[in-house]
Amino acid sequence: MMHKSKIFWFLTSLMLCVGARSQLRTDFYSKSCPNLLSIVRKEVKNAIKNEARMAASLLRLHFHDCFVNGCDASLLLDGKDSEKFALPNLNSARGFEVIDSIKEAVENACSCVVSCADILTIAARDSVVLSGGPWWKVLLGRRDGLVANQTGANVLLPSPFESLDRIIAKFADFGLNLTDVVALSGGHTIGLSRCALFSHRISNFSGTGAPDSTLDSRVIPRLQAACPADSDGNNTFPLDVNSRDSFDGHYFENLVKGRGILQSDQILFSSESATSTTRDIVRLYASDPAVFSNDFANAMIKMGNVKTLTGSNGEIRGNCRVVNS
């Protein structure tokens, strides 16, 4: 028969163990998949070598995952009710094949151990680093969700046409504050936007017969050339006019000059309702990119902690596109 104190010790350590598993940790896979980080890094590097834009696309996938049912890889699930068909993702979210090949490489090394949600998180960090941005330690131990939430994706993801107050509120719902809103918007220092999402700004803005007055008149001809009035809105333009593939502070310098491409970018600096606070943070980042780098890394860690599944919740998907049968 087990001695009473032994039983106590056993139960206590069991609880500690379960407790520890419900926290994300940097060394979560150090025993179960010791080469995980280098495997993901190599795959992301290859993908970016094939197409520089892929860094931006992978970073955005992590964001769009975390804002819907938490960072649980729900975005990766296929199907007609998937998040992929929600308005903010349709013909827009990309990089799913790259996630598939990272998952395949990871499965070959350590089968059924690493979640798709963690793969997205690591790939986002590596995309930033490989584009010249900051590095941070990634917390791991997320598990994959069992359902997609198309309605959630439509309702929760911010739209480029929304007011600053609405955008701030959507971030606040996930515990992300003004600093996080501005820092994370700096993700737009890389990547592209379709014309359809900003063309209303380049002529007859809000029925005024003129362009958006917060837009620098010197970039208007470039935007008009990239987005002819008779085109279908699928042409693209860099979100950071000067340096589309480099993760730097130019995005914020652009906002100060009225060169934010999306309305939702420029209002961080120009909105009248804007609390001077977002404007002050934009000014700070424009003048000191090191502060941006530091705040961006911290905000990414905060975003990566949104409503994660841990312990025995959810599952480790074998294929990121389908739940295990």
Ligand X SMILES: *[C@@H]1O[C@H](CO)[C@@H](O)[C@H](O)[C@H]1NC(C)=O
Name the one residue in this structure whose structure tokens are 């502060």: 291
Query: Which residues on adjacent β-strands are paired with residue 194?
Result: 236
How far is CA 293 from each of CA 136, 177, 183, 277, 285, rounded to the nearest angstrom? 10, 17, 8, 18, 9
By CB under 6 A, how many residues form the interface with ligand X?
19
Nearer to ligand HEM, 40 or 239 (CB): 239
Residue 89 near ligand HEM by CB under 6 A: no
Question: Which residue is at the shortest CB distance from ligand X?
Answer: 152
User: Phi/psi at 6 (nearest 5 deg)?
Assistant: -70, -40
d(CA 184, CA 180): 6
Residue 167 near ligand HEM by CB under 6 A: yes
Q: Tokens representing 138? A: 């990634």
Q: Tokens representing 134? A: 């900051």
How far is CA 243 from each of CA 52, 250, 251, rounded to the nearest angstrom? 12, 7, 9
Residue 193 near ligand HEM by CB under 6 A: yes
Which of 69, 89, 131, 193 contacts ligand X by CB under 6 A?
Answer: 69
CA-atom Rg of the chain in angstroms: 21
Residue 131 near ligand HEM by CB under 6 A: no
Which of 101, 151, 213, 275 contacts ligand X by CB under 6 A?
Answer: 151
Query: Which residues on adjacent β-strands are paired with residue 140?
Result: 25
Nearer to ligand HEM, 109 or 301 (CB): 301
User: Binders of ligand HEM among 14-73, rule CB under 6 A?
Assistant: 53, 56-57, 59-60, 63
Residue 89 near ligand X by CB under 6 A: no
Question: What is the longest distance spanned by two Cα atoms in the chain?
Answer: 87
The interface region with ligand X, picked from 1-9, 102-110, 122-130, 228-236 by CB under 6 A, is 228-236
Nearer to ligand X, 113 or 178 (CB): 178
Which partner in ligand X, ligand HEM, none is near 57 (CB below 5 to 8 A by kind)? Answer: ligand HEM
Q: Tokens representing 212? A: 């958006």
64 assigned to active site: yes
Of the candidates 3, 62, 64, 250, the residue annotated as catalytic is: 64
How far is CA 182 from each of CA 85, 152, 188, 268, 299, rounded to the nearest angstrom? 27, 23, 11, 7, 10
d(CA 198, CA 201): 6
d(CA 41, CA 102): 9
Question: Which residue is at the shortest CB distance from ligand HEM?
Answer: 191
The interface region with ligand X, picked from 99-107, 123-131, 172-180, 258-266 by CB under 6 A, is 172-180
Residue 278 near ligand X by CB under 6 A: no
> Which residues bind to ligand HEM, rule: CB under 6 A?
53, 56-57, 59-60, 63, 92, 94, 158-160, 167, 184-185, 187-188, 190-194, 197, 239, 262, 264
Residue numbers at the binding site for ligand X (CB under 6 A):
69, 91, 147, 149, 151-152, 155-156, 177-180, 204, 207, 209, 232-234, 302
Catalytic (active-site) positions: 64
